[in-house]
Amino acid sequence: MASVKQLQSILKVTYGVVPIVAGLDKFTNLLTNWADYLNNKLIPFDGPTFMKIVGVIEIIAGIVVFIRPLIGVYIVMIWLICIALQLLAGGHFLDVAVRDLVMAIGAYSLAQLTRMTAGKATV
């Protein structure tokens, strides 16, 4: 049976690595063409430029998860909610919006685990 510390470590790596990988991919589009997910009515730049800005933010958020987990996972959680809201507003990719909301709940869960164990062990 996994300990709380093991679960925190798994979630920390997940919520640190995934934003970094997704952020880096905003520059290469190897995983997907990220600009396809945009509601162009809501953004002030062309799709590729906006996605590069998004990529930098995601990379920073992932790094913050490793350095300051409690702050980082709240950033990732809020970011995922914003992505989901943008997708819902566009009326497309609703499955991705739901997935991002579920991931935001996981980030919130990691934040709560981190708060509960603060002082007991370093996450």
Helix axes 47-67, 69-90, angle to 10 degrees: 150
Mean pLDDT confidence for 79-101: 94
Range 104-117 average pLDDT: 94
- Residue 122 reports pLDDT greater than 80: no
Q: What per-residue confidence (pLDDT) applies to 9?
A: 93
pLDDT value, residue 119: 63
CB neighbour class for 97 (10 Å; exposed up to 12, middle 13-18, buried from 19)? buried
- pLDDT score at 39: 77
How far is 42 from 18, CA to CA, in rounded Å? 25
Closest CA to 26 of 15, 36, 18, 34: 34
pLDDT single digits (tens) 16-54: 999 999 999 999 999 999 988 887 777 788 889 999 999
Provide the mean pLDDT of the chain: 91
Model confidence, pTM: 0.88
- Element (H or E) spanning 39, and its range? none
Q: What is the pLDDT of residue 123?
A: 41
> What average pLDDT does this structure show over 111-122?
78
